[in-house]
Chains A and B, each alone.
Chain A
Amino acid sequence: MSAETLSHDPSASSEPGMGLKDRVGDLPPIVWKLLSFALFFGLWELAGRIPISLAFPPFGDVVVALFGLISSGELIAAYGRTLPPLLIGLSITSVFGVGFGVAMGLSRTSEWALFPPMIILQTAPMAAIIPLITYAYGIGLTAKVIAVVILSLPMVTLNSYNGIRYTSDSLLEMTRSFMGTRRQQVVKIMLPHASGMIFAGLRLGISGGFIGIVLAELLITPTGIGDIISYYRSVARYAEMFAAIFSIIALATLVLTGLQVVERRIFKALGQGSLR
């Protein structure tokens, strides 16, 4: 009874007339990532050697400074103070951001209640809000956690909300026609449908959280990694300053890559394949 497999063999189209783009695409992605890093750091090294500014050290000096900061224990101690508010903030965001977003997608009442504050949080300039937070919550852990949450929560919430809200109507109708319950609709259709968007939101939220913690540490009171950055800037040891900045960017990148791996594992485990 089947006759239509012939025209739909996905491997058939890519073999004979492969263009340059296809061949380039055949290199493992890791090679491209490394090449891109090499180019970037090479340009950095060059720019530092010219030098374009006294405050801009070559990449090599920054690496040496980074190892210095690590071996002296200074960097580790700094992360000991930076990471707790970041982790607490991001945990709050993951739970409440996804929770709020899903709730907003499912109920008009929570949409009505949560949409405006989320938009306000998303558009508010962080630097302007931080003095307010300091006024209300002091300079301790709470204020920093709040800074992280403010910069990460809206993205997670709004992405999750959109993922739920734009579930295909016909899939929902299909579930109803086979007498699925509302719960089944949510669990079996809406959440899987939204999962791609939810993870995209989490990625954005994590980057937002990193921005939040650094801003908080620079603007509230210099602590942790923010302290290293502002201290070495004030004593004009720019290699150390850049090393601290570099370390936090590298950490953020590692965390985001880690999340991507987790995401892929989860989809694989659920047997969901690609979410195209």
Chain B
Amino acid sequence: MTSVTAIRMAEPVEVADIIVKAVDISKRYGDGTQALSDVTIEFRRGELTTLLGPSGCGKTTLLKIIAGLLPASGGEVRVDNRTVYGPGPERAFVFQDFALMPWASVLRNVAFGLELRGTPKAEREDIARRYIKSVGLAGAEHKFPSELSGGMRQRAGLARALTVNADVLLMDEPFSAIDEQMRRKLQEDLLELLREEQKSVIFVTHSIEEAVYLSDQVVLLTRNPGRVVKSIRPGFDRGAGPEAVRRDQRYLDAVDDIWSQLKQYLS
């Protein structure tokens, strides 16, 4: 943990560039389990940062603390340099199990974040239709979640998070319940979408490849208790397209590097 802070100090980032900062976050559950211990991470504006680690490293717990869905036992979360104490309009969450209402159409599900905020029906449905289109679900507006594949459901979950126009997207293993081929497609589509949308993303995953492929910054966490081991910036050029990226030496090196780091914590 201290080493990460040291790295940060060595290459200081202007405060304006930090959109979310987790400061000394710790989380202890009622039964005494220490899920997180003094986790400090800076998330830069406009970047995609993944929290990567083995199961039980507290990455989802950390994400939910940042989202304001779980209280931290210690430390604080700052968004745009202001401490936050609960969910806020500048953060939107994408759920691992999609969290779509089975009784509502795709349109109502996608517009639901705005519905909760009291946006008039016509207006919120207009916005929802726009994002349904941009995530590639056009034509499915009046379908129900049970009629959609896992990939399509998560597209709806992503569209819902986009409609509320939050600066920060918090994505909790969004593609882990989706089969491999579709997951790759969704990863590519997510990157394409982010090029247009200018969001800052905090993305939880347990897949090293997914983390390296998507991220500007990969934060490695380990367990017992959950803490930051290392922060890596893969830094390869994504302009060459997905196939080129997956063959890029820096991509492969980053995957290897992370694997060798994580390996020593798996026993």
1/0 per position for B99-141, CB-CB distance to A under 8 A?
1011111001000110111000000000000000011111110
Does A64 interact with chain B (Cβ within 8 Å)?
no
Q: A-B pairs with CB below 8 Å: how many?
A: 90
- B135 CB to closest chain A CB, in angstroms? 7
B95 touches A8 (CB 8 A): no
**Within the complex, which residue of A2, A170, A175, A193 is in contact with B137, where a contact is CB–CB below 8 Å?**
A2
- Which partner residue on chain B sits nearest A273 by CB separation? B144
Number of B interface residues at 8 Å Cβ cutoff, please give it: 44
C-alpha gap A173/B92 in the complex (Å): 12
C-alpha gap A257/B18 in the complex (Å): 61
Does A184 interact with chain B (Cβ within 8 Å)?
yes
C-alpha gap A178/B97 in the complex (Å): 16
A4 touches B147 (CB 8 A): no
C-alpha gap A5/B106 in the complex (Å): 15
**Within the complex, which residue of A8, A179, A271 is in contact with B87, where a contact is CB–CB below 8 Å?**
A179
B70-113 contacts to A (CB < 8 Å): 87-89, 91-93, 95, 97, 99, 101-105, 108, 112-113
B148 touches A8 (CB 8 A): yes
Does A176 interact with chain B (Cβ within 8 Å)?
yes
A174 touches B103 (CB 8 A): no
A178 touches B95 (CB 8 A): no
Number of A interface residues at 8 Å Cβ cutoff, please give it: 32
- A177 CB to closest chain B CB, in angstroms? 4
1/0 per position for A147-186, CB-CB distance to B under 8 A?
0000000000000000000001011011111111100100
A8 touches B116 (CB 8 A): no
A1 touches B135 (CB 8 A): yes
Known contacts A1-B189, A3-B185; is A178 also within 8 Å of B99 by CB?
no
- Which partner residue on chain B sits nearest A189 by CB separation? B101
A272 touches B103 (CB 8 A): yes
C-alpha gap A254/B182 in the complex (Å): 49
B102 touches A178 (CB 8 A): no
- A31 CB to closest chain B CB, in angstroms? 28
- Which partner residue on chain B sits nearest A3 by CB separation? B185
- Which partner residue on chain A sits nearest B113 by CB separation? A178
B116 touches A175 (CB 8 A): yes
Of all A-B residue pairs in the complex, the 4 with the closest CB atoms, nearest first, are: A1-B136, A2-B136, A174-B99, A177-B93
Q: Which B residues have a C-beta under 8 Å from some C-beta of A? A: 67-69, 87-89, 91-93, 95, 97, 99, 101-105, 108, 112-113, 115-117, 134-140, 144, 146-149, 151-152, 155, 160, 164, 182, 185, 189, 192
